[in-house]
A and B are shown apart, each in its own frame.
Chain A
Amino acid sequence: MVVYGSPTAQQFANITAAFNAKYPGVTVQYTSYQPPQAVPKINSELATQGYSADIAFQAATTIYPLEQSGDAMTYVSPYSTGFPKAVLDPLSESTPIIQIAIGWVYNTQLISPANVPTTMAQVANSQFKGEVVMSDPTTGTAFTQYWASLEGVLGNATVVSFLQALKNATSPITILPTTTSCATDVAGGAHAICLSAYMQDAAPDIQAGAPLKFLNITGLPIMITPSNSMIIKNAQHPNAAKLLTDFMASPAGQVAWGNIDVRTPANPNVTAKWSFTSELKNFDPGAGTQVYFPSPSVAAAASAWAKTFIALGY
């Protein structure tokens, strides 16, 4: 069975080991592919061979567009029925396995406690001119979908006026190629605020002693996106793919995922080294509303949203 996933091969080796302990006869060949490579690889293999890997294990921001393109073989693990409804695939074609939160972070040495912004308007202030770094919102990927999803929660006027004000007040805004480099940049003191970082980027830095904290912004929800196991259409080993998906969604599989650093299981009821609730409590004590994204409509319109952000000057 072949899996194309976004975690590193070393992380997935833990899952394969736990899976093979239960199902020793099933060979798992895992290759780490980030979304920009995974999607064209899968599409090209489907177009030429008629089949691709058996499983795509990617963030929902990548999985939902694949599903909308008809690349999935519908399968939802029965184990996921116990998961919170919000984490489930709205298209009912794949199974959520882990979940990732996104927040805004700042450097505690560059922003004094008295100046830590608590509202979006305070972030979009000239005191942070040249201090803001962000992942590119114009690519149609996770961060475009993040802002587009925020628009659905806060309203178009709030998000668009914030982005315009941010651009006007804090330019130049530095755009970095990866979310990791955004968090690392702020941790190292190059800039003061990162919009936005995955919790998996910032949490280890904070643990390692970086002067980094999540910003608690009034009214700004914590946005969460799951990573799903999607069986690819015409999979050569569909039964093995279902077996692995079921295992990853099962309590044993969820514990195996939760024991990998900053990989929080989709099932909140398992006890593991990392759980979403404890992670949020540790790193974002004031975390307010939690909103899962993207909606299928946002995922489908990601390119259009990207153009919107370009029009805003990003």
Chain B
Amino acid sequence: MTELAKPGSRVSIPILVLAAGVGVLGLFIIYPIIFTIVSSFWSGEPGLPGHYTLGNYVALLGDKETYVTVVNTFFQAGSSALIGIGLGTLLSIITVRTDTPFRKALFYLPYLPLAFPVLIANQAWIYLFEMRAGLMNLVFKDVGLSSSTFNIYSWPGMIFASGMALTPICYLIISAAMRNMDTSLEEVSRASGSGVRSTLVRVSLPLMVPSILSAFLLAFTLSAGSFETPTMIGVPAGITVMMSSVYTNADAISPPNYAAASTESVLLLAIIMAMVYLYNRSLRRSKSYEVISGKGYSSSRVLALGRWRYVSLAIILAYLVVAIGLPLFTITLLSLVPIWLPNALFARVSLKNYVFLFSNSSGAYPALLNSLIAAVAAATVITAVALVVLFVSRRTTMRGRGLLEGLAMFPISMPSLIIGFGLLWAFLTIKTGLYGTLGVMVIALTVALLPQGVRTMSGGVVQIQTDLQEAARASGANAATTIRRIFLPLMRSSLVAAWLYVFIGSFTALGAVLFLQSENNQLFSTLLWSYWSSGNPGSSESFAAGCVLMLIILMAAISVMILVQRRLERAPRGAAGSSPAS
């Protein structure tokens, strides 16, 4: 590690502005955390009479069910993260490291399921795999495969739904890092007589350890902190995990029990912080994973699979059918019928739900515009801040640098609903003048999704060898120049991937913004939530039509990203990359 910004060196205005922005952001990150911790020691509801007490912890830790719930959480989050990592790594190897047919065209397709918000995907899985009325189960029965029916309301169902939601995120991180890997190491392995499998297992995968660990941590954390699958699938299956308990206490019971929800959230925070600590410890030897150096690296060569290339093609096509084809078909069909009747699905197909959605009275237009503005703003801010945070924490010796990354990662440790409630209090007590405006939504999204930006990009930063920045420093470059001339060009894939991921996350985020909505800052996600949760006539079908519209927008965004990525690939790697590559 080297210290780039020497005492007395000139600090640029953009850095100062960014530092001020990070400071403000830090305030809004810390507030909900402190608020939640304080609430966990308060006997009553926030703002209502009460006293400080350890009673909430005594009650939580004294209840045997708590330990069952914690074990369930580890099992559910760990299993679904493993599925996500397994599938994400397999798909990355197929599309990046092998000569699978059409691999360049197929490379981007596993990104598409990112467009499915968990709420929508779960709805589709339920309609597909409900034990008796699920479409796929009906098909299985019709073709005489009754024994193959799959019950979505079960442990395997819950893990399947969570795992499928996590796979594109894991693929996003792992494939971006894999594309940056120096293939000359694989070449050496092959030249030394190792086979494809041996090269993958002994060279390629070990080099990917930081990215895989990073993706696992993110996947585990997202799964443990997500309330959609535990409530939509876990609760009907009789499975309780920490998030379903937090959700129940914070948002399902009357009156809400925020003391209990906060205490459970703090416990979850402690578990996830422990995971982050272990992850960081595992990266202490991160120098061994730096595979992008200034000494000539190449990422263009792939491994020849022989006849197995068609098997790998079949694997990726099967994944795409299950992850995209089935849920898209289901949600689209739901949006075209007045009611979901599995035995008469095509009986009353019409565009009625879309006519409503595109009418002025639906409220869709202003909500869509708000969502686009907020998502673009949040994604841009997060990408910039995450890059600086990672640069400072991983590439400088600045005092407190670890704290900075820890601060940025804090919100992911908290359930989004709890963060959202804490942010409500933050905006009510810190007079910004933004309460009720779109600005509040941008800040809330930035706070809630910053960890995803940091975690998506961290593997990419770790891969860049320090000799490049040492060379930059020797040439008189300051921190801003080093970021601009070294990191930005070499991290293009990670940056675009992170921006897109955060954009999608911002577009679909719910918990963090639910308490902050008003007529003037309604987002498309909160509008769809109001359709889904209001129980009004036709609301679930309007919800489905809105979901299809959202999917189209997000898939369009992903397509734009694909075009950008391809253009970047054709362009020279910039100041830092072009020289070594040539």
Contacts and interface: CB of A to CB of B under 8 A. Distances in A.
B254 A302 contact: yes
A208 B348 contact: yes
Interface in B113-159: 127, 130-133, 153
Contacts of A65: 254-255
B406 interface: no
A36 B256 contact: yes
A190 B535 contact: no
B349 to A, nearest CB: 13
B132 A190 contact: yes
A175 B342 contact: no
A36 B133 CA distance: 30
Q: What's the interface size class on A, roughly? A: 35 or more
Contact of B539 (A8, A29, A144, A185): A8
A126 interface: no
Interface string A265-301: 0000000000000000000000000000000000000
A9 B522 contact: yes
A210 B341 contact: yes
B248 interface: yes
Given A49-B428, A140-B255, A6 B339 contact: no
Contacts of B238: 172, 175
Contacts of B343: 109, 189
A44 B428 contact: yes
Contacts of A209: 338-339, 341, 344, 347-348
Interface in A29-62: 29-32, 34-37, 39-41, 43-49, 61-62
Nearest to A201: B535
B424 A41 contact: yes
Interface string A161-175: 000000000001011
A29 B520 contact: yes
A34 B538 contact: no
B421 interface: yes
Q: What's the interface size class on B, roughly? A: 35 or more
B535 A198 contact: yes
Most B CB within 10 A of own CB, among A6, A8, A30, A200: A8
B348 A178 contact: no
A8 B47 contact: no
Given A9-B363, A177-B235, A34 B46 contact: no
6 contacts: A6-B534, A7-B536, A47-B46, A140-B254, A187-B341, A211-B341
Given A34-B530, A44-B515, A177-B231, 20 more contacts: A7-B536, A9-B519, A29-B520, A34-B534, A37-B514, A40-B421, A43-B46, A44-B428, A48-B47, A109-B343, A139-B248, A177-B235, A187-B339, A188-B133, A188-B341, A190-B132, A200-B537, A201-B535, A204-B339, A204-B538
Q: Which 9 A-B pairs have the closest CB atoms?
A: A47-B47, A204-B537, A48-B428, A180-B535, A208-B338, A32-B530, A208-B339, A190-B133, A140-B254
Interface of A: 2, 6-11, 13, 29-32, 34-37, 39-41, 43-49, 61-62, 65, 109, 136, 138-141, 144, 172, 174-181, 184-185, 187-191, 198, 200-201, 203-205, 208-211, 261-262, 302-303, 306
